[in-house]
Structure 1
Amino acid sequence: MKYFLLSILFAGYATAAQPTILNASYDVTREFYQDFNKAYAANYKKAHGEEPVIDLSNGGSSKQARAVIDGLQADVVTMNQDTDIQAIAKAGLIAPDWKTRLPDNAAPYTSTIVFLVRKGNPKGIKNWDDLTKPGVSVIVPNPKTSGNGRYSYLAAWAYAKENPGVGTPADFVKAIFKNVPVLETGGRAATNTFVQKEMGDVLLTFESEILQITRVFSPDKFDVVYPASSILAEAPVSVVDSVVDKRKTRDLATDYLKYLWSDEGQQLAVKYYFRPRSEKLLSENAPLFPAIKLVSVDQAFGSWADAQKEHFADGGTFDQIYLAK
């Protein structure tokens, strides 16, 4: 009995001592990071002889940032836009130089916003203009709580700026949101509304989410539509300095993020339909990622900070448009 109790105590100690980090990520990365975490843990074990525990939290990007600010003990954040990490940095939890600590402005892969429609595209949706037509129901997450929603909004606004024949950007985006029956809080919730609840004629979401649906989950029910142009969506990552310093996990957390740029990390990005930073992999998978005119947030809006202040702050342009729709 004595030896049995000792074995339990030692087993509990070993589990408690196992290196552990938490990744707070945005809604539509669930499958990617579940796979990536397994790959990273196996690679770490080969190098260090012990397997780390990588916990994962998912939600709308901005909601996740708010949770970290409010006390969620995430060692790393893997978001879909700069403003969410900047908000955490502004709260004093991440160092101001976070974008320079990793390659590619700390964004290991990119995506863009495209359209998912019912099989055969019964409403004939081909471009942003079609989203303003009467009788077209558009599903998109809330730009106030979802980076996915912000990118969709900004993509539509940028399209209107380049095509003055559709009217002012404010009127054009207002017409789109007039066709939105419900605003979900995150990208995966919007997908579930469109796919499972069968609401809407078109879903606006990340290319990675749409390609998973049309190639893996429901290829016989939906089609993907690439508009003439869209927004470049960069997905930045960072350690949460206040957490890793307190928990003594900086080395593990930093190594975990760096592995996103490894060959295996980039290949997993492709597997889950994110556009890799590796030019070689991007070229090899060109048929998977059609050429499309992409405009960055900096090009179209000056910076993410400018876009946030003008469009998504309380009382900003989105609030004015949505309340008046």
Structure 2
Amino acid sequence: MKPPSISRHFLVSILAFGLATACKPTTDKSDGSTKTATPDDVSFLNVSYDPTRELYGEFNTLFGAAWKKKTGQTVKFKQSHGGGGKQARAVIDGLEADVATLAIAHDIDQMYEKAQLIPQNWQSRLPDNSTPYTSAIVLLVRKGNPKNIKDWPDLTRQGVSVITPNPKTSGGARWNYLAAWGYALHQNGGDESKAREFVAKLYKNVPVLDSGARGSTTTFVERGIGDVLIAWENEALLTVKKLKTGEFQIVAPSESILAEPPVTVVDKYAKKHGTEALARAYLEFLYTPEAQRLVARHFYRPRLAEVQAEFKSQFPDVKLFTVDGALGGWKSAHAKHFAEGALFDQIYSTENK
């Protein structure tokens, strides 16, 4: 499935990324002349999910230089990373993020529903439902693929150890779970009882549930536990191409899910900090060509069509379905699978008695 591309109208409108008000001249009271104000340095917190550390570390440098050039203001960036569900709860409980860049829309929805930190229509404020990049869920195996993992059914075989994080705390883990569920549902003609049986067999093979995706990567890659890691595509590509060259390989399943991590200004906190214009510009800049190329270099799938074409060969060819198209959207998927006492709790408690 080809991700939709950013509209040209929007792209043109953000090339200045909202800096007009930041650069507005001020009047010198002594003689009526005007001059450009140099704002004080400002601190800025991005609360994000586990595997985006490297991406936003480099993005902050790129955006910070552009913002400094336009406004004279130096931004002191701070990053917070962890399992997406835990990160959302931290913001709701008072971690004063200027922006949140999380793994799933449901976690950001909670910021409205539980604390009114953002407006209900937050997802309509940026293109592509406020998802400036996407990913997919793939399988990472050890060199030579010793357990001959080829597709989702191999993860249910006896003697195969599967590593994936905890869906109760990790957004990436929920994408992993739904990728397996959607595959099983499609293979069994929509029969949910058979899909449940399939996913239960898979989780029976999971020896440990880390709290976030990066923790699961560490368990698999550094600690040597497990035969296969269910992973963000970007995390798998990072491991294969940069961290552990030659030690691991990616298996693209026959079908997976298009993972769409969303972003938002956290309006209540940004207003409190006086960073609303900065926060909007920060997120809008993610859609510019230079940022989209940075996104792709960090192994996320870009939205901008011209950048998609440049990096097409980097990504495995996988048949992708969406949570909206195949599973009724995040609200429905969360209630059915991840709420207290829902299917994941039922499956995991049964398989681990």
* More helix as a share of residues: 1
Write out the 4+ residue segments of structure 1 that deviate beyond 4 Å after TM superposition: none
CA drift at 1:292 = 1.1
| Alignment match, 1:74 | 97
Q: Secondary structure at the match of 1:116?
A: strand
Distance 2:73 2:347 in 1: 53
1:130 equivalent in alignment to 2:154? yes
1:21 equivalent in alignment to 2:44? yes
Distance 1:253 1:184 in 2: 31
Tell me, which stretches of 5 or more residues in structure 1 are unaligned? 1-15
1:61 equivalent in alignment to 2:84? yes
User: What percent of counterpart residues are identical?
Assistant: 48
- Aligned ranges 1:231-246 → 2 under 5 Å: 231-246=257-272
| Alignment match, 1:278 | 304
- Decide which of 131, 135, 141 is 1:117's aligned counterpart: 141
| Alignment match, 2:111 | 88
- Decide which of 171, 185, 205 is 1:179's aligned counterpart: 205
Distance 1:71 1:156 in 2: 34
Tell me, which stretches of 5 or more residues in structure 2 are unaligned? 1-38
Question: Considering only aligned residues, what root-mean-square deviation do their CA atoms show, in Å?
Answer: 1.3
1:52 equivalent in alignment to 2:46? no
1:106-163 Cα deviation digits (max 9, x unpaired): 0000001001100000000010000000110000000111011100100000001111
1:141 equivalent in alignment to 2:181? no
Distance 1:164 1:125 in 2: 21
CA drift at 1:320 = 0.1
| Alignment match, 2:279 | 253
1:51-85 Cα deviation digits (max 9, x unpaired): 21111000100100000000001010001110010
Normalised to the residue count of structure 2, the TM-score between the two structures is 0.86
- Decide which of 194, 213, 238 is 1:168's aligned counterpart: 194
- AA aligned to 2:45 is L
CA drift at 1:291 = 2.1
- AA aligned to 2:71 is H
Distance 2:333 2:145 in 1: 32
- AA aligned to 2:184 is A
- Decide which of 320, 328, 338 is 1:302's aligned counterpart: 328
1:151 equivalent in alignment to 2:203? no
1:88-110 Cα deviation digits (max 9, x unpaired): 11121111111111111100000
Q: Secondary structure at the match of 2:95?
A: coil
